[in-house]
Amino acid sequence: MHFTFSICPSLILITGTIKAAFAHVAQPSPEDRICTETTVAILGGGMAGITAAQALTNASIHDFVILEYRNGIGGRVWNTDFGEDENGKPHVIEFGANWLHGVGNGRTENPLVTLARKHKLKNTLDDTSFVLTYDETGHNDYQEVLAVFKDVKNAAYRDAGQMLIDNVQDGNARTGFAMAGWNPRRNDMKAQAVEWWNWDCESAASPDASSFIFGVAAENLTYNQFGEDNHMVVDPRGYKTIIEGEASTFLHKEVQDRRLWLNTQVSDIRYSKNSVKVINKDGTCVSAAYAICTFSLGVLQNDAVQFHPPLPKWKQTAIQKFSMGTYTKIFLQFNETFWPTDANHFLYASPTTRGYYPIFQSLSTEGFLPESNILFATVVDEQAYRVERQSDEETKQEILAVLRQMFPEKDVPEPTAFLYPRWNSEPWAYGSYSNWPVGTTLEMHQNLRANVDRLWFAGEATSASYFGFLHGAWFEGREAGEQIVALLKGRCLTTYGKVTCGERAHYDILHGTTPSDAYSAINGWPLDSTV
């Protein structure tokens, strides 16, 4: 991935001062505004947006504009300062994407691993094979339940691969696990905690709400193709360093590149078969031959941007059909590390509520943030929504009560620092990452991914192979950019052995199943039971 650099002289960025003044005067109608003209408007400066711009640059197309809501690029790869070290300097923690998924001796290397090495991103093996187990009485060894689920999970995943080959109708993961022999009582809270750790913690949704075949396929495609390990990013520059590093190869480093519009909130998108006009909340606008929308599924679902004309019914249905999960990490720093140092993960089985602060991870160990005394809890789905609605103090006291149950022999103190994001309140995200709901076919996903006239879509949610993963956004941004290049240069594009010329396919009428050969033809999925 090598880039050249050029600035289109017709691209004029209205700076913050002028924007502020412009916003307080009478605005011309959208039809009468004089807009900055460009060839491609890229909506969003996250991983997909930057890789789309890379693809354009690689093809010597430099006439594009990136419009980003926030004051920096990275999107849901979001880090922040937290607490302080022994020298009074803050630690850096990741609110959003935190792991390199699929590291090791796979069939090929995860492109994010390649970028991490290129930009010297500090990361460390996060071994989840050993977790200490607790309940309301303190340490309680239920490792045998973890072992049982591991065997069942392996069998269930083989079943999912065979279902894919046989073109069997999809069901939810709950059914898939039950057919493989896992059917715990709802009041067996240790089994519920083990199940959460093995499914919800990855999908940000319960087995009841998740597709069995597609949930298994996305996980296995990542780990079978790239490698079995997860590495946690602990770089003081933040995970977004790899996105910023790649962007710096084609955007100006010394001064603000006029093709990057930060602090720019898109409010309206007017698309047709000939062009796309993007209107921003501050009154500025961009007129482009094509646009690539990399907004999160949550933004699209919450009508944060108005489309003119309204998106067709098949597109709206696909957007609303898929689910946006919420994965919330809650960080606590203490004046000491009072928890065991021989493990990094601690699983808690609440006596009453599934998914109630079920997992804690220590960062205060070698390779992570040693001697930082930082611990973080993770909640997803309904529990994540619940903690977002309550105050920091309420959440803090709930977590301290759990920790005091887990470690009754310790005098668990008040934390010296406490912080967590509220993903569903962030208007540029409205959630963490997507999940594939039960009963949703590949045809429906193709509708989510398909372009509407000159308006194209990319992001982790549009990846059938890697939805929910950051590398899914990398692949999708690159592919959308290459599609636009092919259109601009009047040629066809070959992706996964399938030749496409022009628009992506969509389905006005959906069918109950998707032919199995479509998985390979569209997504390059290997049709074997390892999937």
DSSP labels for 404-466?
HHH-TTS-PPPPSEEE---GGG-TTTSSSEEE-BTT--HHHHHHHH--BTTEEE-SGGG-TTT
Residue 199 backbone dihedrals phi, psi, to 5 degrees: -125, -65
Lowest pLDDT segment from 221-230, 350-359, 462-471, 501-510: 501-510
pLDDT score of 10: 33
Q: What's the sign of the alpha-carbon dihedral 31, 36, 42, 47?
A: negative
Q: What share of the chain is helix, strand, coil (3-state, %, to 5)?
A: 35, 20, 45
**β-pair partners for 261:** 67
Cβ partners under 8 Å of residue 186, min gap 6: 192
pLDDT score of 496: 59
Residue ranges in 204-311 assigned as alpha helix (H): 212-226, 241-247, 297-301
pLDDT in tens, 86-140: 999 999 999 999 999 999 987 799 999 999 999 999 999 999 989 999 999 999 9
Q: Which residues of 284-296 are buried (b: 16+ CB within 10 A; e: fewer)?
A: bbbbbbbbbbbbb
Q: Are 201 and 381 spatial neighbours (Cβ–Cβ below 8 Å)?
A: no
Taking residues 391-396, report their average pLDDT: 98
Structure confidence at residue 495 as a pLDDT band (50, 70, 90): low
Q: Are 448 and 435 spatial neighbours (Cβ–Cβ below 8 Å)?
A: no
**β-pair partners for 434:** 324
pLDDT in tens, 308-347: 999 999 999 999 999 999 999 999 999 999 999 999 999 9
Specify the residue for token string 């809650």: 330
Percent of the chain residues past pLDDT 70, beyond the cut: 89
Structure confidence at residue 2 as a pLDDT band (50, 70, 90): very low
Query: Could you give the 3-state DSSP secondary structure of residue 139?
Result: strand
pLDDT score of 512: 67
pLDDT score of 415: 98
Is 266 known as a binding-site position? yes
pLDDT score of 255: 63
Dihedral of the CA atoms 249, 251, 256, 260 (nearest 10)?
-140
CATH class of 36-75+238-324+430-523: alpha beta
Structure confidence at residue 505 as a pLDDT band (50, 70, 90): confident
Q: Are 242 and 121 spatial neighbours (Cβ–Cβ below 8 Å)?
A: yes
The residue type of 133 is: T
Structure confidence at residue 32 as a pLDDT band (50, 70, 90): low
pLDDT in tens, 52-96: 999 999 999 999 999 999 999 999 999 999 999 999 999 999 999
pLDDT at 189 over 90: yes
Taking residues 419-442, report their average pLDDT: 95
Do the bridges between strand 266-271 and strand 276-280 make them parallel or antiparallel, or are there none, so unpaired? antiparallel
- Radius of gyration in angstroms for the set of CA atoms belonging to the chain, rounded to a whole number: 24
Cβ partners under 8 Å of residue 183, min gap 6: 177
Taking residues 253-270, report their average pLDDT: 90
Lowest pLDDT segment from 197-201, 443-447, 520-524: 520-524
Nearest CA among 362, 367, 370 for reference residue 403: 362
Query: How far is residue 235 CA from its own chain's centroid?
Result: 19
Residue 31 backbone dihedrals phi, psi, to 5 degrees: -70, -25
pLDDT at 515 over 70: no
Specify the residue for token string 């590398």: 471
pLDDT score of 308: 98
Average model confidence (pLDDT) across the chain: 89
Structure confidence at residue 466 as a pLDDT band (50, 70, 90): very high
Q: Are 86 and 283 spatial neighbours (Cβ–Cβ below 8 Å)?
A: no
Query: Could you give the 3-state DSSP secondary structure of residue 231?
Result: strand
pLDDT at 514 over 60: no
pLDDT score of 161: 79
Structure confidence at residue 396 as a pLDDT band (50, 70, 90): very high
Measure the CA–CA gap between 142 and 140, rounded to whole angstroms. Answer: 6
Q: State both tokens at 286.
A: 């961009």
First to last CA, the chain: 29
Taking residues 492-511, report their average pLDDT: 77
Taking residues 353-371, report their average pLDDT: 96
pLDDT at 518 over 60: no
Do the bridges between strand 455-457 and strand 285-293 make them parallel or antiparallel, or are there none, so unpaired? parallel
Percent of the chain residues past pLDDT 90, beyond the cut: 79
pLDDT at 237 over 60: yes
Residue ranges in 363-416 assigned as alpha helix (H): 381-389, 392-406
Neighbours of 391 (CB within 10 A): 9
pLDDT score of 492: 78
Structure confidence at residue 11 as a pLDDT band (50, 70, 90): very low
pLDDT score of 530: 37
Taking residues 398-425, report their average pLDDT: 98
Taking residues 292-315, report their average pLDDT: 97
Nearest CA among 157, 355, 155, 116 for reference residue 241: 116
Structure confidence at residue 163 as a pLDDT band (50, 70, 90): confident
Phi-psi region of 263 (alpha: psi -120 to 50; beta: other; left: phi over 0): left
Cβ partners under 8 Å of residue 168, min gap 6: 162
Q: State both tokens at 373.
A: 């005394």
Specify the residue for token string 């011309």: 28
Taking residues 495-513, report their average pLDDT: 76
pLDDT score of 338: 97
Taking residues 433-459, report their average pLDDT: 95
